[in-house]
Every structure is written in structure tokens, then in C-alpha cells.
């Protein structure tokens, strides 16, 4: 299957086509596709609130992060933005469930935007590596945060978040269940395995996330923005 043009976002049609192609080249993804079909086109708007939610999701469950995100949204008067965050005290953010460390990260993001050291709008015009460099330059934002933003907000097709525990655990579990794959890859080989999924590593990740959530009886929309 042909790769998309540089900076071209996934659509429902290209996602479905890529999932079919991946199912044909990888037995594990083939089993997922046969059981569940193509994954959802999870999408989050490319705005301050999305980057804030990614901070909240660091090292906690999706459900816990979503709950904190909703409380923070209420604390902000219904809209999480750099301006609304600046109007809330640290105590107010803590009351919403934001940890002291993550308060620093969200405030640092808000300060960078207000001082024009960082522009969310300009990320759409950058290639994947430029986006990663700009996001990871922010306090508290590492490669995982940048990868999730690339996948969810910019819908980039070829991102592999190797630090994502759901992806790692989900792949191990899916491999164990898939027929026709006697050799189980070890976690350290994820990046190597991902090379076979190019140029649609994001789609493979979405397929594994879908399997991971369904296997645990969770709503596949849990990843979507609230």
C-alpha cells in the first residue's frame, strides 16, 4: 500500500485500507482485524486542552486521566486553555485532581504559549520529527507525549509510541493469541517489529490498542477526547 503524502492526515478510508494491508502482512494484526475489524479513527483537536490531557495521562490509567480532565474542565469554566489555566490557583488545580508535578507541566505549557515560545497551530506544518522536537522541548513532555499528539491530534500515519505500556502489553497478549506465529517477539524488539508495519505504524498501534481495550472489557471510545 502506498504511503500518504508528507504531513497528510489519516482519514477513515485510508485507516481502513491500511488496516487491511497490515492484516495481510502480520498474522497477529490479521487475527485482530478478523475479530474486530478496523480500529476507530480516534481524534483529538489540536488545541491546548489536548496537550494538557496528554500530561494528565502520563503514568496513570485512561479512566483516571479522563476523570481528572473532566474536573479540570469544570474548574476552567468549561474550556481548558492557556488563559483559563492562568486564572486558576495551584490549589484549584489540585482540587481538580492534578498532581503538583503535572501542575508545573501544564503551567509551563501555558506560559510558553502566552510568551509565544511555542505555537500549537504551527505544529501542523511541521514534519513528524520537527513536531517531536518542539513538544519535547517543553517541560514534562517526552517522546511518548509527542507521539500521542502526532497520532491523535495530527493523525499522522507512521508513528510508533514505543514507550506506551498499552501497546507493549497489548502486542504481547495479541501475539500469544494469534495463530501461525510460533516465535513470540520480546518487548525490546518492538521497534524492529514496527519496521515491518511502515508506513502505517500508527494504524498498527491503533489496532493493538483496540484489542487491548476490548480484551479488558473497556469502551474503545475511552481513548477519544471527552
- The pLDDT value recorded for residue 5 is 80
Q: What is the DSSP string of 112-174?
A: HHHTTS--SGGGGGS-HHHHHHHHHTSTT--HHHHHHHHHHTS--SS---TT-HHHHHHHHHH
Residue 118 has pLDDT above 60, yes or no: yes
Segment 82-103 mean pLDDT = 96
How far is Cα 105 from Cα 203, in angstroms, rounded to an integer? 29
- The pLDDT value recorded for residue 181 is 56
Residues of the chain with CATH 1.10.340.30: 48-152
Residue 185 has pLDDT above 60, yes or no: no
Please list, residue by residue across 66-100, b when 16 or more beta carbons sit within 10 angstroms of its beta carbon and e when fewer do. Answer: bbbbeebbebbeeebbbebbeebeeeebeebbbbe
User: Is the CB of residue 113 less than 8 Å from the CB of residue 82?
Assistant: yes
Place of cell 494504524: 203
Residue 220 has pLDDT above 90, yes or no: no
Reported confidence tier of residue 186, pLDDT bands at 50, 70, 90: very low
150-172 pLDDT, tens digit per residue, is 999 999 999 999 989 999 999 99
- The pLDDT value recorded for residue 182 is 47
How far is Cα 35 from Cα 46, in angstroms, rounded to an integer? 32
Reported confidence tier of residue 179, pLDDT bands at 50, 70, 90: confident
- The pLDDT value recorded for residue 188 is 53
How many CB atoms are located within 10 Å of the residue 124 CB?
13
Q: What is the CATH number of domain 48-152?
A: 1.10.340.30
Distances in Å between the Cα of 53 and the Cα atoms of 79, 181, 208 are: 12, 37, 21
User: Is the CB of residue 40 less than 8 Å from the CB of residue 224?
Assistant: yes
Residues of the chain with CATH 1.10.1670.40: 12-42+158-223
Peptide bond just before 46 cis, omega within 30 deg:
no
- The pLDDT value recorded for residue 225 is 61
How high is the mean pLDDT of the chain?
92
Domain 12-42+158-223: top CATH class? mainly alpha
- The pLDDT value recorded for residue 226 is 53
18-66 pLDDT, tens digit per residue, is 999 999 999 999 999 999 999 999 999 999 999 999 999 999 988 899 9
Say which DSSP state 187 is in: G
Reported confidence tier of residue 121, pLDDT bands at 50, 70, 90: very high
Segment 127-141 mean pLDDT = 98
- The pLDDT value recorded for residue 223 is 76
Instruction: Tell me what percent of the residues of the chain surpass a pLDDT of 90.
Output: 83
pTM exceeds 0.85 for this model: yes
195-212 pLDDT, tens digit per residue, is 999 999 999 999 999 999
Give the ranges where the chain is alpha helix by DSSP (H).
12-25, 27-36, 48-57, 62-75, 82-86, 90-95, 100-114, 128-136, 143-152, 165-177, 190-195, 201-215
How far is Cα 86 from Cα 71, in angstroms, rounded to an integer? 16
Amino acid at each position: 500500500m502506498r504511503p500518504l503524502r508528507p504531513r497528510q492526515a489519516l482519514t477513515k478510508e485510508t485507516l481502513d485500507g491500511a488496516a487491511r494491508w497490515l492484516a495481510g502482512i502480520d498474522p497477529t494484526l490479521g487475527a485482530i482485524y478478523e475479530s474486530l475489524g478496523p480500529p476507530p479513527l480516534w481524534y483529538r483537536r489540536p488545541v491546548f486542552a489536548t496537550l494538557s490531557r496528554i500530561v494528565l495521562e502520563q503514568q496513570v490509567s485512561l479512566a483516571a486521566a479522563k476523570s481528572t480532565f473532566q474536573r479540570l474542565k469544570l474548574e476552567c469554566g468549561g474550556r481548558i486553555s492557556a488563559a483559563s489555566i492562568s486564572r486558576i490557583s495551584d490549589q484549584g488545580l489540585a482540587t481538580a485532581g492534578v498532581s503538583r508535578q503535572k501542575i508545573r507541566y501544564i503551567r509551563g505549557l501555558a506560559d510558553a504559549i502566552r510568551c509565544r515560545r511555542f505555537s500549537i497551530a504551527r505544529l501542523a506544518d511541521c514534519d513528524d520529527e520537527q513536531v517531536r522536537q518542539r513538544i519535547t522541548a517543553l517541560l514534562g513532555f517526552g517522546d511518548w507525549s509527542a507521539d500521542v499528539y502526532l497520532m491523535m491530534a495530527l493523525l499522522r500515519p507512521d508513528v510508533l509510541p514505543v514507550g506506551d505500556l498499552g501497546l507493549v502489553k497489548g502486542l504481547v497478549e495479541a501475539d500469544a493469541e494469534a495463530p501461525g506465529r510460533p516465535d513470540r517477539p520480546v518487548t525490546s524488539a518492538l521497534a524492529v517489529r514496527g519496521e515491518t508495519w511502515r508506513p502505517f505504524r500508527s494504524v498498527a498501534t491503533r489496532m493493538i490498542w483496540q484489542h487491548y481495550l476490548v480484551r479488558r472489557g473497556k469502551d474503545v471510545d475511552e481513548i477519544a477526547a471527552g
